[in-house]
Structure 1
Amino acid sequence: MLAGVAALELSNREWTVLELAVLSPMLAATFGGPRLTALYGVLAIGVGVMLGIYDHLFGQSDGGPTAQAVRLGGVAVGGVLAVLVSRYNTRRETKLQNVTRVAEVAQQSILAAVPRSSGGLHFAVRYESAAAEARIGGDLYEVVDTAWGTRLLVGDVRGKGLDAVRIASRVLGCFRFVGRAADNLPAVLAGLNAEVAEVCELDDFVTAVVGQIDGRRLWLANAGHPDPVLVRAGRASLLCVPTRLPPLGLLADATGAIGGATENTVEVTLRPGDRLLLYTDGITEARDPTTGRFFPLLPAAQAALSRGTLEESVADLVDRVRAWSRSTLNDDVALLAAELPRPAGRQRRGPPGG
C-alpha cells in the first residue's frame, strides 16, 4: 500500500495523494498486532514527509507548510486509531481462544472418552460442530457396561447454546447412573425422561435412542430420535421400532407409557462383522448448498462402513458429509458406531513333526 501511494505520488506533479498513506496502518491493523500496526504508522508518516520534501510541499506553494502539516496530522491520527483497533482485535482474539479452550475442557468433561473395546465390541465416536468456533453443543453420546450388557446412548437436545450444554450434561450424568441400575431399557428411558422433565423448560425436550448389547443380542428403544443404521454384509438398513415414543421430557406418565411396553423396543440378533451406527439429525439434515438435496445417509453409510477399520469408516462417513455440504453443516453431528468383530481365524497347524 505504501509503495502504491509513493508510486502514484511520484508519477505525476498534479495530484497530491500522500495522505492515502494512512491506509497502510489501517490495513496492518486487520492482519497484525499493535506493534506491527504502529510500525506501519511510523513508516506512513515517514513516507509522507519524504514525498512532501520531494514535491516541495513544505514550501509556500500548494498550500504551504500548513496544508502539509494537516496531511501528515491526518496520517498520524489514522495511525493511532489503527493501533487502537489492532489492540482491540488482539484482545478479542485472545478472549476467543480462552473461551475455546474452556469449551474443549467442558467437552472432555461432559462427553467422556468412549473405550475402543468393551464387552466384546469395538466402538468409534465422532463429534462434528456446525460452527468452526464451537466445540460442543446439545448432541450427546455415551457407552456404559452393566450387568445386563453394554448400553449405548445417543441423544440431541432441542436448541443450542449453554442451555443445551447444561441439559446434555444432566442427561449424560443420569444415564451413567440409571443405565447401570435399571434392569431393562424401558426403565432406563423412564429415568431419563424424569431427569429431562425436571431440568427442561416447557418447550424443551431431548430425542434419544438407547441400545443394549448382550453377546449377540441387540435391543433398541427410541424416543423421537432418527432410526439407527445396521450395516450387514455390505448392506445398510434402518432399525425401526414398532412404536416410536415421544422425545424425553414430553412423556406425561413415563412409567405407564414406557414400562413393560414391548412394542417400544426392537430386538435384533447380531452377526460377526455387523456394524451399528447411532447418529444425530445433523447428518440427515446436511444439504447440498447448490441443489438443496439432503445427505443420502443409507448409501453413504453402506459405502463407508463396509470397509476399513471402524475408526476409518466413521472418519470416511464424516468426510462424505463435509464434502456433500461443502463444510456448511446446519447442525452438530454426533456419531457412535459399534461393531461385533469377527472371530480370529484359526492358525494352521504345521506338518507332522514340525
Structure 2
Amino acid sequence: MRTTQRRRSAPARGDLWRGWSAPSVRSAFTAAFAVVVVLVGLRLSVRDDSHAVSWLALPPLAASAFLPWRWVAGVGAASMALAFGYLWLLHDFSMDGVAVHGVDFLVVAVAVVIAAAVAVVRERDDDRLRRLAQLASVVQQAILRPIGERLGPFDIAARYVSARSGAEIGGDLYEALDTEYGVRIVIGDVRGKGLDAVRLSSTVLGSFRHVAFERADQRCMIADLDHAVARNGGDEDFVTAILLQERGGTLEILNCGHPPPMLVRDGVATYLEPESMAPPLGLGPSAQELTVRLQPGDRIFLYTDGLAEARKDGEFFPIRERAWSLIGHGNTGDGLASLETALRRWVGGPLTDDIALLLLDYRPEAD
C-alpha cells in the first residue's frame, strides 16, 4: 500500500511544471526570449519599419509548442512590452501611424491569447497521455507481476521492452514460480497486438500460475495451456511459448514454436534447440523435452521474437556473438539493461515489436 501511494503521489509533485524540470523550463524560456531579442534586432536594422511590430507575434506562438501556458503568457507579455516600447521609440502618433501600428499591436495581443490557449490544450493532452501511460504501466504490472531477484537456485532478472514509447503493454509474457516440483518458468508471445493479445496473454499467465502448482508433468501443463488458448482465443490465435523446469541441477525444456533459449557457459553461447519444434499453444502442440545438466555459473537467456527479429539494414542483431560480453557476467539486471542499450543502438530507431527478456544465473551454492 505504501508503494502504491508513493507512485500515485509522484506525479502530483510535478504538476507545477507539468512534467518539466525547472532547468528545462528556464532553458526553453531563455530560448524563446532570445528569439524575441533577435527579431527586434533584425527589425531595427531594417529601414522600412512598416508592420515591424507584427513580427513579435512569433515568439509566443513558437513557445506554445513546448512551454507551459504560464511561461507562454510570460513570453507574450515580453512581446507586448517590446511592441509598446518599439512604438514609443518611433514617436509616430499620426493618424496613419496609430492605425498601422495599432493593428500590429492588436495582432501581437491576439497571438498571445491564441498561444496561451494552444499551450493549455497541449498540456491537457500531455496530462491525458501521461495518465494513460501510468494506467498501461499498472495493467502491465498486474499481468506481468514483478519477479524477485532470487528464485530457487537462480539469480533472475526480467525486463519488458516496449516498442512504443509510453505504452508498456503488449502480448509478450513471462512468469517464474518456485513450486514443490522445482522452479518453473514460462515465456511466450501472443500472435497479434492490441487488447486481444493482452487478454490472451493474461489468460495464459493465469492458467500457468494455477497448473504450475497442480501438475507434476510439464507435458500436462502444456496440454492445459493449449486448451486455455483454444477456449479463449480466436480460430487463428496462438501463443509461442517455452516451459522450463529445474530440479536438482537438471533443466527440462519444452519448446512450443518459440525462439530457442540460449545457454551461456564459460564464455560460449549456444542455443538449446530440440530435434523437432512443436506447434504453438492453441494448435495442439506435442513438445519434445530437452534436458540439460546445469553447472554453477551457467546462464540461461530467454527472449521473445522481438529480439530475434530486430535488424538494421536487413542484418539481424548478433545476439549469440555478443551474449557473453553483454549478459555473460555481472549482475543479471545490469546485463539485461546493457543488452537493451546495445539493441537500441544497433537498430538506430524505434523497435518494431515488444520484447520480453529473462536471464537466469544458476548459483546453487547461494542456497
Query: What is the match of residue 173 of structure 2?
Result: 140
Deviation of 1:103 after TM superposition, in Å, equals 1.8
Opposite residue 360 of structure 2, the aligned amino acid is: A
1:47 alignment partner in structure 2: 82
User: Aligned partners of 2:349, 2:212: CA distance in 1, in Å?
Assistant: 35
> What is residue 294 of structure 1 aligned with on the other side?
316
Distance in structure 2 (CA, Å) of the matches to 1:81 and 1:316: 45
The CA distance in 2 between the partners of 1:304 and 1:8, in whole Å, is 54
Q: Are positions 1:277 and 2:301 aligned together?
A: yes
1:352 match: none
Q: CA RMSD in A?
A: 1.9
Quote the residue 1:350 is aligned against: none
Q: Which protein has the larger Cα radius of gyration, Structure 1 or Structure 2?
A: 1
SS at match of 1:130: coil
Tell whether 2:52 aligns with 1:30: no
Identity of aligned residues (%): 38
- What residue in structure 2 maps to residue 10 of structure 1? 44
Map 1:171-186 onto structure 2 (within 5 A): 171-186=204-219
1:308 match: secondary structure: coil
Q: 3-state DSSP class of the match of 1:31?
A: coil
Residue 290 of structure 2 is aligned with which of 266, 269, 272? Answer: 266
Alignment correspondent of 2:5: none
Change in 2 beyond 3 A, CA 1:203/1:74: farther
- Runs of 4+ with >6 A deviation: none
Tell me, yes or no, if the aligned pair for 1:148 and 1:214 is still in contact at 8 Å.
yes
Structure 2 residue runs of 5 or longer lacking an equivalent are 1-34
Matched, 1:337 2:359: yes
User: Does the 8 A contact of 1:142 with 1:153 survive in 2?
Assistant: yes
Q: Which of 312, 331, 341 is the equivalent residue of 1:319?
A: 341
- Structure 1 residues 342 and 217: CA distance shift in structure 2, 3 A: closer
CA contact (8 A) 1:210 1:221 kept: yes
Of residues 90-99 and 113-122 in structure 1, the stretch that sits farther from structure 2 once superposed is: 113-122
Q: CA deviation at 1:104?
A: 1.8
Q: Which residue of 1 aligns with 2:328?
A: 306
Q: TM-score with structure 1 length normalisation?
A: 0.87
Q: Provide the secondary structure at the position in 1 that maps to 2:46.
A: coil
- Number of aligned positions between the proteins: 331
Mapping 1:1-354, distance limit 5 Å: 1-16=35-50, 17-60=52-95, 63-249=96-282, 251=283, 254=284, 257-258=285-286, 264-288=288-312, 291-326=313-348, 328-341=350-363, 343=365
2-side partners of 1:316 and 1:8: how far apart? 49
The alpha-carbon deviation at position 342 of structure 1 amounts to 5.8
Aligned residue for 2:316, secondary structure, equals coil
Q: CA deviation at 1:237?
A: 0.7
- Alpha-carbon distance, 1:127 to partner: 1.5
- In structure 1, what residue type is equivalent to 2:233? C
> Does the Cα contact within 8 Å between 1:178 and 1:188 map onto a contact in 2?
yes
Q: How many angstroms does 1:327 deviate by?
A: 5.4
Return the letter of the residue paired with 2:327. Answer: L
SS of 1:222's equivalent?
strand
Amino acid aligned to 2:46: N
Shift of 1:312: 3.1
State the distance in 1 between where 2:156 and 2:144 align.
15
Q: Distance in 2 between matches of 1:58 and 1:248?
A: 83
Deviation, 1:147, is: 2.5
CA contact (8 A) 1:229 1:277 kept: yes
Q: Distance in 1 between matches of 2:183 and 2:126?
A: 43
State how far apart, in whole Å, the 2-side matches of 1:307 and 1:110 are: 29
Asked if the contact 1:5–1:18 (Cα under 8 Å) also holds between the matched residues in 2, the reply is: no
**Greater CA deviation, 335-344 or 206-215?**
335-344
Query: Is contact 1:242-1:265 (8 Å) kept?
Result: no
Deviates more, 1:65-74 or 1:146-155: 65-74
Is the contact made by 1:300 and 1:320 (CA closer than 8 Å) also made in structure 2? no
Q: Deviations over 1:172-196 (max 9, x none)?
A: 1111001221222221111111112
Cα separation, partners in 2 of 1:2 and 1:186, compared to 1, 3 Å: same
CA contact (8 A) 2:154 2:364 kept: no
